[in-house]
């Protein structure tokens, strides 16, 4: 069973990470998908995406849910029928799900040097404390991307900009946590952030 990691940041929240080692056929054989989900996975051109999608359904099972318990709103945000909050992510051979009584968002990204090329597209304020020559520059950029992606998923509001509306306060990699803000339409929203690294990947999750 490739359940890779379980984290309980507080009594109301659980994070589970899956390492995708199974074949598409093995993953498909052990899930029961509703028709709309089956159509979606069969329509995916990439087997990597198919396996990521199916691994998330296995993670749901780890939480005691089925595919039928999951639905999406008009903004593409996932919800659970029992009212608990959920966020979902997958990247290459890892996927993760966070379930909470609180509003949450999660993201996993592979650490890659090319993120420095697009940093200007999602960072503004954070450049004040980042040092491009630092050995952990790419790792910090990846954390910031994951944090902002988590905020975007959590907020689920069309027009929200990583660069203009989402801000991550200074942190160090060994901290494993920080604070982030969404400043949107003259209102400020504060979120607790946790992050961790594993096998060349970064995962961050935001909790309201």
Tell me how far apart the alpha carbons of residues 107 and 103 are, in angstroms, rounded to a whole number.
14
| End residue of a domain, out of 101, 128, 158 | 101
Question: In terms of Cα–Cα distance, which of 38, 153, 163, 28 is closest to 90?
Answer: 153
Number of domains in the chain: 2
Q: What DSSP designation does 12 have?
A: T
Residue 141's CB is within 10 A of a number of other CB atoms, namely 24
76 and 153 assigned to the same domain: no
**Mean pLDDT, all residues of the chain:** 96
Q: Is there a single domain that holds both residue 111 and residue 68?
A: no
pLDDT over threshold 90, residue 14: yes
Which domain covers residue 142, as residue numbers? Answer: 107-207
Which residue, of 101, 121, 136, is where some domain finishes? 101
Is the pLDDT assigned to residue 2 strictly greater than 90? no
Q: What is the pLDDT of residue 120?
A: 97
SS3 per-residue string spanning 116-171:
HHHHHHHCCHHHHCCCCCCCCHHHHHHHHHHHHHHHHHHHCCCCCCHHHHEEECCC
83-121 in b/e form (b: 16+ CB < 10 A) is ebbbbbbbbebbbbbbbbebebbbbbbeeeeebeeebee
Report whether pLDDT(92) > 60: yes
Tell me: do 93 and 38 sit in the same domain.
yes
97 shares its domain with 9 = yes
In the chain, the percentage of residues whose pLDDT exceeds 70 is 100
Q: Is the pLDDT of residue 142 over 90?
A: yes
Is there a single domain that holds both residue 93 and residue 113? no
- pLDDT > 60? residue 141: yes
Contact 178, 169 (CB under 8 A): yes
Q: What's the rounded mean pLDDT across residues 139-155? A: 98
Give me the mean pLDDT over the 108-136 stretch.
97
Residue 95 and residue 119 share a domain: no
Q: By the 8 A CB rule, do 62 and 71 touch?
A: no
Whether residue 158 sits in one domain with residue 85: no
192, 179 Cβ separation under 8 angstroms: yes
- Among residues 69, 101, 133, which one ends one of the domains? 101
127 phi/psi in degrees, rounded to 5 = -60, -20
Task: Supply the CATH number for residue 18's domain.
Answer: 3.90.470.20
Q: Is the pLDDT of residue 1 over 90?
A: no
**Residue of 145, 154, 141, 144 whose CA lies nearest to 191:** 154
Assess whether 123 and 165 both reside in one domain: yes
For the stretch 152-186, pLDDT in tens is 999 999 999 999 999 999 999 999 999 999 999 99
């Amino acid at each position: 069973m490739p359940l890779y990691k379980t984290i309980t940041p507080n009594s109301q929240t659980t994070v589970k990470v899956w390492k995708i080692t199974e074949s598409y056929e093995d993953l498909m054989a052990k899930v029961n998908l509703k028709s709309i989900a089956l159509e979606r996975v069969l329509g995916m051109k990439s087997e990597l995406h198919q396996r990521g999608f199916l691994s998330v359904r296995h993670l749901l099972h780890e939480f005691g849910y089925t595919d039928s318990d999951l639905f999406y709103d008009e903004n593409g945000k996932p919800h659970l029928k029992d009212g608990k909050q959920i966020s979902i992510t997958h990247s290459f051979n890892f996927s993760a799900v966070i379930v909470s009584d609180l509003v949450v968002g999660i993201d996993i990204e592979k650490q890659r040097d090319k993120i420095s090329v697009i940093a200007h597209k999602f960072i503004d304020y954070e450049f004040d404390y980042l040092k491009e020559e630092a050995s952990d520059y790419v790792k910090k950029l990846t954390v910031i991307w994951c944090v902002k992606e988590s905020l975007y998923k959590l907020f689920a509001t069309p027009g929200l900009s990583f660069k203009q509306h989402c801000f991550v306060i200074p942190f160090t990699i060994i901290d494993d946590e920080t604070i982030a803000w969404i400043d949107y339409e003259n209102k400020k929203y504060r979120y607790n952030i946790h992050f961790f690294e594993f096998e060349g990947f970064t995962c961050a999750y935001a909790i309201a």
